[in-house]
Structure formats: structure tokens, C-alpha cells
Structure 1
Amino acid sequence: MEIGIQIRYAAWLTALPEVKQVTLKAAEAALAIEPHLQVRELSIVLADDAMVRTLNNDYRGINKATNVLAFAYGCNEECAALGDVIISLERTAAEAKQDERGLSDHLSHLVIHGVLHLLGYDHGKDDDAKAMEALETRALAGIGIDDPYAPSRRGEVQ
């Protein structure tokens, strides 16, 4: 399994020097949710608001930055490449500060959230959102991170 991590915004390394290790650990935790999939490739891009805004506008028609974008390649059980997850440092850092969470923990949450989208999970309906949140919480617990959806930690992941 190859998890490609591209740092497209150098400030990630200043904000979180261990960003690649944190990202890799979170991606592996998310992929463990669906161990039967034979995914051989996943791309994670650590970007800035400008890049995320451009992609969000170009592919979703929404001209603003968001915390995480996920672009699936249409994976099935025998796929090779799962897709791309793109995460904005500015959004991630602002949300971590607002929710009084560490940047590392919030980045892990967003990586897991993005990978779950690539695996086909969604949060458009209440029942789907609850199921996705439960999977996120389980994956985060597996890497020693507290439940971000606990009543005292109710942040928003888009």
C-alpha cells in the first residue's frame, strides 16, 4: 500500500514538523475500517486555503476554502487507486484553535474523515452522519485520540 503525502504548503512543516507521520498514521487507521479492500494507492495533499478554494470552486462550484476535500476515483473492492484527500492548513489550524484541540489531533480527524469519504461514507443525512461519526471516533480511538464529537468537543467537519 502506497500512501503518497504531498506537502504543497511549506507552512505545514513549521506548524507541525511531524506532519507526515501524523498523516500516515491517520490514513492507515481510516483504511483499517475496510480491511477487505485491496487499495494500493492513496494520495493526501497538505495544502493552503488558496489551493483548496480553487479546487472547491473548480470541482464543486463553491468559491470558498474548506477544511478537507476528497475526490474518489470510483473505487470498488479490486481497485488500485482510491483517490485524493486535500487538507487546508489555515482551516485546520483555525478549527483546532476554536475547538481547543491540538493541530495534530484535528489533522488526524480530517485525514480520517476524508479517507472515509473515499471509501464511500457520507454525512448528508442524519443517520449517515451518525454512522460516519462513529467510524471516525473508532479510528481516532485506535490511534489514541479522544472523541471529537463528545458533547464538550462538538466541532464541525464538513
Structure 2
Amino acid sequence: MAVDTIIEDDRWQALALEALADRVAGAALSHLGLDAGAADVSLLACDDARIAVLNAEFRGKPSPTNVLSWPAEDLSPDTPGGMPLAPEPDPTGELVLGDIAISWDTCAREAEAADKPMQDHVTHLVVHGLLHLLGYDHVEDADATVMEGLEAEILAGLGLENPYIVADGAEGPV
């Protein structure tokens, strides 16, 4: 699998984002039992100005955010806390999953605020965005429990700590 990475902001080059995205997406898909070699994902690496425009256009929120996702198809479960549908390959055998955008500025601010290496935070956000492409969400508490648990498992497999555990050991968003 190769994530089709489009770098609009050169600061992303410092993280070797293309290689990071390929490794992280491959690990996440393998963890979920999906054929990473058949997956088709696009990743736009941009800045706050660009992601704010996208956030306004697609979500009606004219402000920057860390990551956005556009699933190729709606795989979300019928009931809160349920498992999403499995993506079906197209006639060529490809798993077309969708597109992700990630903002350098917001990611850098969040990583600094959480006292985490930028690479670790971006790894988390690539996993997070990919799970959204696969029908996972965190609006409802039951769905958040499922999605955050999967994120923690995938990140542990990549050697990273659970991002939902705060410094005192309590659970919560970081």
C-alpha cells in the first residue's frame, strides 16, 4: 500500500510524512484484518489556512482543525457502539477508502501543548483519520469508546502510548 500523499506545506518534509503515512496506514489496516496492499487512501498535508477553508466548505466550521476525513463510502454502523461495515473492494480489487487532510500548524500546537513529539501526534492523527474513512466515529459515547480503543491498540502496536490517558493516569482526550 502506498498512501497518495500530497504535500502543500513544505514543513511536512521534516517528518518524512510519505513514509510515515504508508507505515502507519499499513499497520492500522493490518490490525483491522484488511488488505493494506489493496487500499487506496489520499492524504493532503497542508497548513491551517487551507484546512480552515476545507473545514468551512465541508463542515460549516470556518476554523482550522487537526485532521479531516472524507470516506469514499458510508460504512458507519446502524447503532451506536456497533462495528462499521467492512469496505468492499472495487472490481479491480482495490479498497478505495477516501481522503484525509492534516494541518501542520494545528498538529504542531497540539503536540507542543501535550508535550509529545510531533511524529507521535501525527501518527495518532493518521490512524484517527483512517478510522473515520472506515466508518468509525466519536460523536456518540458508545462510538467513541470503540474508536478510541482501536486507536490505542493500533498505536500500541506502533510502540506509542494511549493518547487518551492524561498525565495523572485518568482517561480523557489529550
Q: Does TM-score exceed 0.5, indicating one fold?
A: yes
- Determine the C-alpha separation between the residues in 2 that align with 1:70 and 1:42: 10
Q: TM-score, normalised by structure 2?
A: 0.81
Tell whether 2:77 aligns with 1:78. Answer: no
Tell whether 2:128 aligns with 1:128. Answer: no
* Aligned-partner SS, 1:42: strand
Check conservation: 1:29, 1:139, Cα contact below 8 A: yes
* Aligned-partner SS, 2:26: helix
Query: Of residues 163, 170, 173 in structure 2, which corresponds to 1:148?
Result: 163
Q: Which of 93-102 and 142-151 deviates more?
A: 142-151
Rg comparison, structure with higher value: 2
- Determine the C-alpha separation between the residues in 2 that align with 1:44 and 1:143: 20
Tell whether 2:48 aligns with 1:49. Answer: yes
Structure 2 unpaired stretches of 5+: 75-86
Task: Deviation per CA, 1:26-49: give whole Å up to 9, x if none.
Answer: 111222243246743111111111
- Determine the C-alpha separation between the residues in 2 that align with 1:134 and 1:55: 28
Q: Report percent identity of matched pairs.
A: 37
Q: Which of 56-65 and 95-104 deviates more?
A: 56-65
- Determine the C-alpha separation between the residues in 2 that align with 1:20 and 1:78: 24
- Determine the C-alpha separation between the residues in 1 that align with 2:173 and 2:27: 21
CA RMSD of aligned residues (A): 1.8
Residue equivalent to 1:89? 104
**Length, aligned pairs only:** 154
Task: Deviation per CA, 1:48-89: give whole Å up to 9, x if none.
Answer: 111111111111111011000000111632243110010000
Q: TM-score, normalised by structure 1?
A: 0.89
Check conservation: 1:36, 1:77, Cα contact below 8 A: no
The code of the aligned residue for 2:109 comes to A
Residue equivalent to 2:81? none
Residue equivalent to 1:5? 5
- Determine the C-alpha separation between the residues in 1 that align with 2:120 and 2:68: 18
